Structure 1
Amino acid sequence: MRIGLNLPHYGSLISPEAVTEVSRAAETLGYDSLWTGDRLLSPLTPGDRYPGGDGTMPAEMGTYLDPLTALAFAAAGTSRIRLGTSTLNAPWYNPVLLARTLTTLDVLSRGRLDVGLGLGWMRDEYTAAGVPWRDRGARLDEMLDVLEAVWGTDVVGHEGPRFRVPDSRIEPKPVQRPRPPILLAGLRPEATSRIARRADGWLAVGLPLPYLRSLWEKIKTEAEGYGRDPAALRMVQRLNPRLSASPADPAQVPATGTLEQVAAYAKEAAADEVFVDLTLTVTRRDEMLDIAARFLELMKAG
């Protein structure tokens, strides 16, 4: 199992020093990957409930750096650790401009990028981005078509219902060939079908284990039905707990619990890769790095 850490790009810790220190320390400790998420705004009167807890978006999410700029900053100070998004809310972006930014990050990091994409859950952000909420899944499908064309063909051309790219050469191509790995998020049937059809893996979250396993088996079975090798797919799981000093009710893990409980959950989930986001727990860099070191030890023990 590969083990990753969320970059301090949102919440109270954000600063150039935090991104630099945490990314370098994670690489030195032996972490395999660094991850960022995507949040555009914190509406005063939300039109949608947060999909977790009591439905209120955590206050830490009210302060957010751009995820790809933060990863580029981290890439400059590291040499081995991989860089991923979980998730980038793809429909907010123009696909050709997004392809250029992602290619730039892959080139400047010498091929360390994992492209994790999703749809998000807040329609207020779509309003602010000037993108329709309706048919966002179909928009993502067409974006994937454009990304793969930009990354994969010498002459790029696309004519679709939302985007048009005149026949062109778009260089450079990413370092990773035929393209950086594409991971997709989602729990609904249309999302899991998209993962099965065309993704390199699933961006999962901290679900009850029976539900997590059933969804993963569904994705792999459906992928096989599309003529794909299910063994080639990978599950990358994000955990963002509020750590507690004393053991929590097992039913509440991994949303809360001790670090030992969260690590035990992660081992039992047995994803191909798991990364921990400590933003909801820590308020200091030294605290974050201390917990990150302990988590890595727990994950590698036994």
Structure 2
Amino acid sequence: MDIGLAVPQFGRFATLTSVLAVARGAEDMGFAGLWAGDRLLTPLQPKDRYPGGDGTMPEAHRVFLDPFAVLSVAASATSTVRLGTSALNACWYPPPVLARSLTTIDHLSGGRLVAGLGLGWSSDEYAAVGVPWKGRAKRYDATLDALEAIWSADPVSFEHELWTIAPSHIEPKPARRPPLYLAGFTKQALCRVGRRADGWLTATLPIPMLTAMWKTVCRSAEEAGRDPGTLRMALRANPDITGQGNPPRSGTVAQICDYLATAAEAGVHEVILDLQHTATSDQHLLELAGEFKARLFSST
């Protein structure tokens, strides 16, 4: 199992110093990837519950850096670690703009991009960027179609009721077609992963639920004539490290690692650790990351 780390991006870690220190430290420690998320605003009276904890958005998310910017900085400070998004809210961006931003990171990093996309969960954020909440799944599929066209064709031509790309050169192209990971937990989302993605972005679910969802992904891949053995499952963990807790959301490092080791046995290929909710400094974050890595490598 590979182990990735969330790049500093929010709360006390939303600084250039933190991005550089953690990116360099993670690569030096042998982490497989650095991953960035996508958050736009913190509504005072949210229409939707945050999908974690008690449903309240973490206070640290009031300050949240742009994912393309932090990955660009991380790319400049590293040379081998993969650079991923977990996950971009794909519908916020016109496809040529999204393709340009992702391809720029891939181009400047020498082909290290993993493009992780999702639908998001906040209708307030959709309203803020002027994108309809209704019909977002249809927009999402069209965005994926447009990205594939932009990344693979020259000249590019794309016709849809939402966008028209006249026959054009859109360059540079990625060093290779970036691995595409998709997030989601509904049956529709899981089937989409199986039909057209390279991996599934998931979270710290109960193991039976996780394996049942993965079976849906694999079955969808088989029905689409694809080899499910080529797909990867990447699990994001945002633990609160405490003396006593409720793993996998909280607990000691050893307790969280026990869950993650079980997840690896259940088929998880990569863990993405986000330690920004629990670490108190860059050094503390890297120390925790090192402890996780040492324990997980000894148990998997």
Q: SS at the partner of 1:43? A: coil
Q: Which residue of 1 aligns with 2:174?
A: 174
Matched letter for residue 253 of structure 1 = P
Shift of 1:170: 1.1
Q: Which residue of 1 aligns with 2:298?
A: 301
Q: How far apart in 2 are the matches of 1:274 and 1:285?
A: 20
Q: Which residue of 2 aligns with 1:277?
A: 274
Q: 2:286 aligns with which of 267, 286, 289?
A: 289
- The answer to whether 1:58 aligns with 2:55 is no
Contact 1:205 1:237 in 2 (8 A): yes
Matched letter for residue 174 of structure 2 = P
Q: How far apart in 1 are the matches of 2:157 and 2:253?
A: 49
Matched letter for residue 151 of structure 1 = W
Q: How far apart in 1 are the matches of 2:6 and 2:258?
A: 19
Runs of at least 4 residues of structure 1 off by over 6 A? none
Q: 1:228 aligns with which of 216, 226, 229?
A: 226
Q: Number of aligned pairs?
A: 296
Shift of 1:219: 0.6
Where does the alignment leave 5 or more consecutive residues of structure 1 unmatched?
none
Q: How far apart in 2 are the matches of 1:237 and 1:171?
A: 32
Q: 1:254 aligns with which of 248, 252, 262?
A: 248
Q: How far apart in 2 are the matches of 1:43 and 1:268?
A: 36
Q: Which residue of 1 aligns with 2:116?
A: 116
Contact 2:187 2:216 in 1 (8 A): no
Q: SS at the partner of 2:171? A: coil
Shift of 1:27: 0.3
Where does the alignment leave 5 or more consecutive residues of structure 2 unmatched?
none
Q: 1:203 aligns with which of 186, 201, 204?
A: 201
Shift of 1:275: 1.2
Q: Which residue of 2 aligns with 1:17?
A: 17
Q: Which residue of 2 aligns with 1:145?
A: 145
TM-score with structure 1 setting the length: 0.96
Contact 1:103 1:173 in 2 (8 A): yes
Shift of 1:155: 1.4
Q: Which residue of 2 aligns with 1:265?
A: 259
Q: SS at the partner of 1:301? A: helix
1:27-38 map, 5 Å: 27-38=27-38
Q: How far apart in 1 are the matches of 2:51 and 2:97?
A: 29
Contact 1:13 1:283 in 2 (8 A): no
Matched letter for residue 66 of structure 2 = D
RMSD: 0.8
Q: How far apart in 2 are the matches of 1:200 and 1:209?
A: 21
- Amino-acid identity (%): 49
Cα deviation per residue 1:104-125 (whole Å; 9 max; x = unaligned)? 1101000000000001100000
Q: Which residue of 2 aligns with 1:193?
A: 191
Shift of 1:136: 0.6
Contact 1:82 1:112 in 2 (8 A): yes
Shift of 1:283: 2.0
Matched letter for residue 291 of structure 2 = R
Q: Which residue of 1 aligns with 2:213?
A: 215
TM-score with structure 2 setting the length: 0.97
Matched letter for residue 87 of structure 1 = A
Q: How far apart in 1 are the matches of 2:107 and 2:181?
A: 19
Matched letter for residue 262 of structure 1 = I
1:98-117 map, 5 Å: 98-117=98-117
Cα deviation per residue 1:262-288 (whole Å; 9 max; x = unaligned)? 111111101111111011101211111
